[in-house]
Structure 1
Amino acid sequence: MNRENRYSRQSSLVPEDRLKDLTITIAGTGAIGRNVALQLSSIGAQNLTLIDFDKVEESNIASQGFLEEEIGLMKTTAVVRGCLKINNDINIDAYDTRFKKSHPVTDVLFCCVDKMKSRSFIFDAVQKENKLFIDGRMAAESLQVYTSYSPMTQTSYKESLFSDEEAYQATCTAKSTIYCANIAAGMMVSQFTKWLRDFPLNTYVSFDIFSNEMETRD
């Protein structure tokens, strides 16, 4: 496939010269992380690392977008297959484990895990070498996106972390929706493409899609 034709509709928005050499990790390939991976594959990311210890279950079909035929697969395996169907030239490493400090630190990390403790662990592991850290959080029909890219924003990100006991506990039947996950992933990838173009980033975005209320911070 001709690369110029493939990316012609986005060439002024997604600079291929910067994107093609970046290394990108997606920690957590569930509702948000799966969609981040597919979107990055679509826009031309070439070097992805996926990390998740979980398998696809029936409950992941409606809420996370996995296919019926993927039930029982490791989530990373299913997402790798989806990414390669979009672009079979991508270099993808997959780890079927929890995030470990021994994992290579990449230029960019999309944090799409469920637990606050995991977010804190991942951020501590990568903050000294990582260039851009984007954290997506979701509960049913509300989402938050935090972005860290400098010493000052690292400090503000740390202030957003709290214990899992303090986190909002949604009921089992109101935890996750595919439409909210898609919006969260889109906002995260949008932050990434703005960073590629050296545009100012929001360190915090929250959006309640039920009430259509949004808040942003620079």
Structure 2
Amino acid sequence: CCVDSISNRSAIWKSVKDQTQFWCDGRMLGEVIRILSATDLPSQAHYTTTLFPQSQAQTGTCTTQSTIYTANLAAGLMLHQFTRWLRSIKTDQDVSMNLLASEMNYSTSLY
């Protein structure tokens, strides 16, 4: 899922959560990336906690001319989670990367 609003994410998740075995959501704001994967009940429950009202969302654009590479990194991280899932390797349910600060944090799903 790579949509621009949290309200759209919530609506899509509500529609597909009981019909999908793999879900991955890429979120960005400037040089900060967050990749969320849901592949089992615990990671689905975690994903649900990351959804909130649109009024609470930070304003800003996902990419600007100088940070388009961030979208490429996000796409690569999402594809990486998908290939791990295809190979029955544990997926990371929540990955955060701040490129400006050179920080990366993650938590692994129980799958």
TM-score (norm 2): 0.90
Q: What's the CA shift for 1:175? A: 4.3
What is the distance in 2 between the residues matched to 1:166 and 1:202?
A: 25
Deviation track 1:3-39 (CA, whole Å, cap 9, x = no partner) reads xxxxxxxxxxxxxxxxxxxxxxxxxxxxxxxxxxxxx
Q: What's the CA shift for 1:150? A: 1.2
C-alpha change, 1:132 and 1:175, in structure 2 (3 Å) is: closer
Q: What's the CA shift for 1:112? A: 0.3
Q: 2:36 is matched with which residue? A: 146
What is the distance in 2 between the residues matched to 1:156 and 1:175?
A: 23
Equivalent residues in 2 for 1:65-214 (5 A)? 111-170=1-60, 175-176=62-63, 177-214=67-104
Q: What's the CA shift for 1:211? A: 1.1
Question: What stretches of structure 2 of length at least 5 have no aligned partner?
Answer: none
Q: 1:78 is matched with which residue? A: none
Residue 213 of structure 1 aligns with an amino acid whose one-letter code is E
Structure 1 runs (4+) greater than 2 angstroms displaced: none
CA RMSD of aligned residues (A): 1.1
Q: What secondary structure does 1:181 align onto?
A: helix
Aligned residues: 105
What is the distance in 2 between the residues matched to 1:208 and 1:168?
A: 16
Residue 42 of structure 2 aligns with an amino acid whose one-letter code is M
More contact order relative to length (CA 8 Å, sep ≥ 6): 2
TM-score (norm 1): 0.47
Residue 95 of structure 2 aligns with an amino acid whose one-letter code is V
Question: What stretches of structure 1 of length at least 5 have no aligned partner?
Answer: 1-110
What is the distance in 2 between the residues matched to 1:167 and 1:214?
A: 22
What is the distance in 2 between the residues matched to 1:168 and 1:214?
A: 20
Larger Rg: 1
- Aligned-residue identity in percent: 35
